Amino acid sequence: MVESIQKSLIKLSILCLLAFCVSVEAKVRHYKWEVKYEFKSPDCYRKLAITINGRTPGPSIIAQQGDTIVVELKNSLLTENVAIHWHGIRQIGTPWMDGTEGVTQCPILPGDTFFYKFVVDRPGTYLYHAHYGMQREAGLYGSIRVSLPDGETEPFSYDYDRSIILNDWYHLSAYEQAVGLSSIPFVWVGEPQSILIQGRGRFNCSRPGIGAGLCNATNPECAPYALTVVPGKTYRLRLASLTALSALSFEIEGHNMTVVEADGHYVEPFVVQNLFIYSGETYSVLIKADQNPTRNYWASTKIVSRNSTTPNGLAILNYYPNHPRRSPPTIPPIGPHWNDIAPRLAQSVAIKARPGFIHPPPQTSDRVIVMLNTQNRINGNVRWSINNVSFNLPHTPYLIAYKHNLLHTFEQRPPPDNYDSANHDIFSVAKNVNATTSNGAYRLKFNTTVDIILQNANTMNPNNSETHPWHLHGHDFWVLGYGTGKFDKVNDPKKYNLVDPIMKNTVPVHPYGWTALRFRADNPGVWAFHCHIESHFYMGMGVVFEEGVERVGKLPTSIMGCGDTRGHHSP
C-alpha cells in the first residue's frame, strides 16, 4: 500500500515537472514599434508610406506556439489614429486585443502608446495589418510566423523557411482614395500602379506626366526582391497576400510548387504551377531548387479576376552563387488569363485537410445565414451591401458597448439572415439598386454551429461580378463547398464536404458563385466578418458577430476613450 502511494507520488511529481517544463518553454516576446509616415519608393515612385520603425513591410513576428506576444506600439502619425489587427490569431481569452477599430477597441490616438498582448496558440503563417480606415494599403503590414514547439515536427520537410508578402501599390494616398469613394460623383480607386513582392516593385519612370524627382528607376529601394536558393535544397515559402484590391496568381518560372499549408492548417499536398491567392490568405508551398543552377529564374505575380493594365510584379529566384541582381535570360511568365474562372474555382475545391490533421466539422448547423453580396446606391453614394444592408461602424466599439450595456450606441435591430432569393436575378443588375445602412450586429447563441452562405451577384455594371475574399476574425471556419450560380438551399448542402474540409480564416467567393462556410460560435467576444478588399469594406461590405460576451473578462481601460467611453481611457 505504502509502496503504491510512493509510486503515485513519484508519478505525480514527474507529471508536475513535465507540466512545468512545458509552461516555462513558452516565451514572452517583446516588440517596440513606432508607427510614422516616411517617404518611400518601393516601386521607384516616391510617396508617403506608413512605416514601422522605418520599414514597410514592417518587422516580422517570429515565435513558437504558446508564446506571448507583447507589442508596444507608439502612434507617431501626428494627425491620424491607428489600430493593428493580428490576422489569423484567434485572440482566445483576449478579444479586446483583436485590433479592430470600432469593433474591439477605440483607435490609438496620435502620440499615444498602446500595448497589445496576446498568445499565439497554434503554429502557422499569419499576418498583421492596419485596421483603421484604409491605412493598410499605405504600407502598414507585416508577417507572423509561428513554429511548432521544440521537439515537434511537421508532416513535411524542408531546408529553409522564407516569408513573402504580395501586395498591390497605389500612388494616391489612402485618404485621397477614401474621399473619392465617399464623394458624389463617385470616384473609384482604379487599378493599382504596381504589384510588390516583399515590398518591392517596378513602376515605369519614363511614363509621361510624372513630376520631376518623383520617380527614380535606379533607386536601390525598388531593386527586385531576390530569393537566394542553394541548388538541391527545398524551401518553404510562406506566401501571403495583403492586396488592397487585387486577386493574384503567383508562379516561379520552371518550378513546381507543392501546397502544404493554408491559413495555419495543413493541406493534403497538391502541386501547382501557379498559385491563386486572395487578399488576406496565406499559403505555404514547397519548392525544390532543382533546375539549371547556372542561371536565375523569374518569380511573377499577375492580377486575375480584373481586366487590369497593372504590369506583373517580378522578383528573382537567385541560384547561389549567381549574383542576385543577375536578370534571368528569359521573358517573365505571362500568367493565366484574367477572366478564366475555372482554374481558380478548381484550386479552391482542391484544398482539403491533410489526413491525420483533419478537424471533423459538426455534421449539422443550428443557424444558416445567407449573405447576398451586392453593389448599391444609398442617397447618391455608391456602397456595397449584404442582403441590401450596408455596414457602418459605430463610434463606440461593439465589445465595450455590449460589455458595459451601452446598447443605445448602435442599432439593436439585427441584419437580415437572408434575401429574397426567389425574385433576385444574380446575373443582372438589380431592378432596384437602392439599399439602407445599419450598424446592427448578428447575435449568435454561444457554442452553436453557424453556416454562412456567401452569394455573389452582378454589380451595378452589366455583365460584371467581382471576386470577394471574406475574412472572419476570432475563428477558423470549415470550407464546406463552392458552387456556380444561385445557391440551392435544398440540393447544394447535400454536396458539402463533411469528411475532410480545410479550415481557413479567409476564403474567396467567385464571380456569380457561392461559398459555404461553417464555424462554431465558441469564442466569447465581438468579431468582424468582412470583405478583405480595402475599398469594399470601407464602402460597407461587412458584418459583426456577437457571441458569449457575458463570458468576456474585465475590459482594459486602454481600449476605451471614444464614443460613449470618453473619460474611461488610460493609455
Tens-place pLDDT, residues 280-319: 999 999 999 999 999 999 999 999 999 999 999 999 999 9
Q: Which whole number is the average pLDDT over 424-433? A: 94
Residue where a domain stops, chosen among 297, 318, 350: 350
In the prediction, which pLDDT does 15 show?
A: 41
- Enter the DSSP assignment of 434: B
Q: Which whole number is the average pLDDT over 12-20? A: 41
Q: Are residues 143 and 242 in the same domain?
A: no
Per-residue pLDDT at 567 exceeds 90: no
Residue 6 lies in a domain: no
Look up cell 508596444; give the residue. Answer: 72
Q: Are residues 407 and 531 in the same domain?
A: yes
Look up cell 474540409; give the residue. Answer: 501
Residue 495 lies in a domain: yes
Per-residue pLDDT at 149 exceeds 90: yes
Residue 173 lies in a domain: yes
Residue 553 lies in a domain: yes
pLDDT digits 0-9 by tens, 340-387: 999 999 999 999 999 999 999 999 999 999 999 999 999 999 999 999
Residue where a domain stops, chosen among 123, 147, 171: 147
Q: Are residues 414 and 546 in the same domain?
A: yes
Express the helix, strand and coil content of the chain in percent, nearest 5 each: 15, 40, 50
* DSSP H/E element including 482: strand 477-484
Q: Are residues 509 and 547 in the same domain?
A: yes
Higher pLDDT, 145 or 17: 145
Residue 5 lies in a domain: no
Residue 549 · residue 526 · CB < 8 Å: yes
Residue 27 · residue 61 · CB < 8 Å: no
**Whole-angstrom Cα distance, residue 553 to residue 571?**
19
Q: Are residues 184 and 127 in the same domain?
A: no
7: alpha, beta or left? (left if phi > 0; alpha if psi -120 to 50): alpha
Q: Are residues 192 and 102 in the same domain?
A: no
Residue 225 lies in a domain: yes
Residue 546 lies in a domain: yes
> What confidence category does residue 571 fall into, taking pLDDT thresholds of 50, 70 and 90?
low
pLDDT digits 0-9 by tens, 30-49: 999 999 999 999 999 999 99
Q: Are residues 345 and 466 in the same domain?
A: no
Residue 18 lies in a domain: no
pLDDT digits 0-9 by tens, 70-115: 999 999 999 999 999 999 999 999 999 999 999 999 999 999 999 9
**Whole-angstrom Cα distance, residue 124 to residue 257?**
18
Average pLDDT, the chain: 94
In the prediction, which pLDDT does 2 show?
A: 41
In the prediction, which pLDDT does 214 show?
A: 95
Q: Are residues 72 and 170 in the same domain?
A: no
Q: Are residues 392 and 486 in the same domain?
A: yes
Q: Which whole number is the average pLDDT over 246-268? A: 98
In the prediction, which pLDDT does 209 show?
A: 87
The CATH code of the domain that includes 185 is: 2.60.40.420
Q: Which whole number is the average pLDDT over 201-221? A: 93
Q: Are residues 86 and 34 in the same domain?
A: yes
Residues 6+ apart with CB under 8 A from 127: 87, 88, 141, 142, 143, 144, 165, 240, 242, 280, 282
> Which is it for strands 61-64 and 141-147: parallel, antiparallel or unpaired?
parallel
Residue 531 · residue 374 · CB < 8 Å: no
pLDDT digits 0-9 by tens, 476-514: 999 999 999 999 999 999 999 999 999 999 999 999 999
**Dihedral, 408, 409, 413, 417 alpha carbons, nearest 10:** -150
What residues pair up with 68 in beta bridges, in sequence order? 28, 119
Q: Are residues 447 and 397 in the same domain?
A: yes
Residues 6+ apart with CB under 8 A from 468: 373, 454, 456, 508, 509, 531, 533, 536, 541
> What confidence category does residue 570 fall into, taking pLDDT thresholds of 50, 70 and 90?
low
Q: Which residue range forms the structural domain that includes residue 557?
A: 367-565
**Whole-angstrom Cα distance, residue 260 to residue 468?**
24
Domain count for the chain, please give it: 3
**Whole-angstrom Cα distance, residue 83 to residue 397?**
13
**Residue % of the chain over a pLDDT of 90:** 93
Residue 3 · residue 44 · CB < 8 Å: no
Q: Are residues 297 and 397 in the same domain?
A: no
**Dihedral, 508, 509, 510, 511 alpha carbons, nearest 10:** -140
Residue 80 · residue 40 · CB < 8 Å: no
Residue where a domain stops, chosen among 93, 119, 147: 147
**Whole-angstrom Cα distance, residue 560 to residue 571?**
9
